[in-house]
Amino acid sequence: MGLFSKLFQTKNEKPPIKERTPLSIQVGDIVVYDLVDYEVVGKITYRQGSYEWISYQLMEGNRTIWLAAEMDDEMELGIYKSVNLPVTFPYPKKLTFENRTYYLDEEGEARVVGEGRSKNINGMVTKYADYCDETEEHFISLEHWGSEVEVSYGFPVEAYEIKIIAGS
């Protein structure tokens, strides 16, 4: 939009909304997954060196899920749900959850930027670990926040399985 366009833009006109991708979802957007409309209420961007990945907190009523997105060699997306699995730090090499064994795939530290409901963790560093089963179709994610370890169960999804509707 040029300078003259901005000068003659009326106050009621809004700039066009940019198309969203899994890496550009914003708090306030709607993500449709499995025929359910979820509002994006939180966003966490994890940074480890120059590499980053994102988790979006999605809510529908009282139900909360997380959409994880990262661009490795290709777009990787996953749906995660918090689960009750007692884990302490330092993290073990393998975990068992619902009769399935998960093996440590990756661990490290990441600095986070939180937005929306996740803004209270902005600037913190989390010690994380990712586990997968033998089929690499089921995941466990651990994040150490202060004195507690949050545990999530996840599975991969394809980009065509989600629809993103930009908020205002």
pLDDT in tens, 52-91: 999 999 999 999 999 999 998 899 999 999 999 999 888 9
Q: Averaged over 103-122, what is the pLDDT?
A: 95
The residues pairing with 106 across neighbouring beta strands, listed in sequence order, are: 130
Can you give the pLDDT at residue 13?
A: 66
- Residue 152 in this model has a pLDDT that exceeds 90: yes
pLDDT in tens, 15-26: 666 789 999 999
- Residue 165 in this model has a pLDDT that exceeds 80: yes
Can you give the pLDDT at residue 15?
A: 62
* Helical (H) or strand (E) element with 129: strand 125-132
Nearest to 165 by CA among 40, 15, 35, 34: 40
Instruction: Write down the domain spans for the chain.
Output: 18-165
Mean pLDDT over each residue of the chain, to the nearest integer: 91
CA 27 to chain centre: 12
Q: Which residue has the higher pLDDT, 145 or 126?
A: 126
3-state secondary structure of 124: coil
Q: Which amino acid is at 16?
A: P
- Residue 5 in this model has a pLDDT that exceeds 60: no
Q: Which amino acid is at 12?
A: N
Contact 149, 9 (CB under 8 A): no
Question: For the whole model, what pTM was predicted?
Answer: 0.87
Contact 68, 75 (CB under 8 A): no
What beta strand segments (E) does 25-124 contain? 30-33, 36-48, 51-60, 63-71, 75-82, 94-97, 100-116
- Residue 146 in this model has a pLDDT that exceeds 90: no
Distance CA 107, CA 115 (A): 24
Q: Which pair of structure tokens corresponds to residue 71?
A: 């661009």
Distance CA 121, CA 44 (A): 9
Residue written as tokens 């999530």? 152
